Amino acid sequence: EFENNWSEYMKGGNSIALNSCTAALDLALKIFDFPENKKVLVSSITFVSTAHAVLYNGLVPIFVDVDKNTLQMSTEDLERKITDDCVAVMPVHYGGHPCDMEAILEIAKKNNLKVIEDCANTAGGEINGHKLGSLGDIGCFSFEEKKNMTTGDGGMLFTKDKALAEKAR
């Protein structure tokens, strides 16, 4: 029921309830089955679980600096850190504030990177009428007791792509 309600709240798509956002981030990376030792670009300001999910999958986290004014992933540093070994970018919508998703999505498309949004701190956030977590390939949410929406604990993986959701299940 929660999965169905979350999908409706997100304006369509597929939701998979998990025990934590860490599990959602881990599963999101597993879905893509990236080759070992490939690189994932991660915000330098985040909870350790964002990088742990990368490591759990045999991948290498590459930390991208944040913009000193917004504390969100710096798109300039993101572009500098991209190499041929990069397979994904995990922007973290830190402190309830959205990253510059328009620029991140453009950079990702240009470099054939998957986008996994870490929305642990932004359940309910929006950009231009679009829910955070619905802009990239996958959005991952946390509902633990300190978040702005809580179930006591738990997480959610969200994607608009039915094939990705079926692979996750």
Alpha carbon of residue 144 to chain centroid: 17
Instruction: Tell whether the model's pLDDT for residue 16 goes beyond 80.
Output: yes
Give me the catalytic one of 38, 39, 131, 147: 147
CA–CA distances in Å: residue 27 to residues 10, 20, 32, 70, 154: 19, 11, 9, 28, 14
pLDDT tens digits, one per residue of 110-148: 999 999 999 988 888 889 999 999 999 999 998 865 556
pLDDT for 109 equals 98
Select from 131, 161, 156, 163 the least CA-distant residue to 27. Answer: 156
pLDDT for 147 equals 57
CA–CA distances in Å: residue 151 to residues 19, 38, 62, 104: 10, 34, 31, 30
Kindly state the average pLDDT of the residues 161-168: 93
Let me know the angle formed at the C-alpha of 83 by 70 and 30, rounded to the nearest 5 degrees: 80
Q: Is 147 a catalytic residue?
A: yes
pLDDT tens digits, one per residue of 65-79: 999 999 999 999 999
Q: What whole-number distance in Å separates Cα of residue 146 and Cα of residue 137?
A: 26
pLDDT for 125 equals 85
What is the pTM (predicted TM-score) of this model? 0.93
Q: What whole-number distance in Å separates Cα of residue 112 and Cα of residue 51?
A: 21
pLDDT for 122 equals 85
Name the pLDDT band for 154 (thresholds 50, 70, 90): confident
Q: What whole-number distance in Å separates Cα of residue 13 and Cα of residue 9?
A: 10
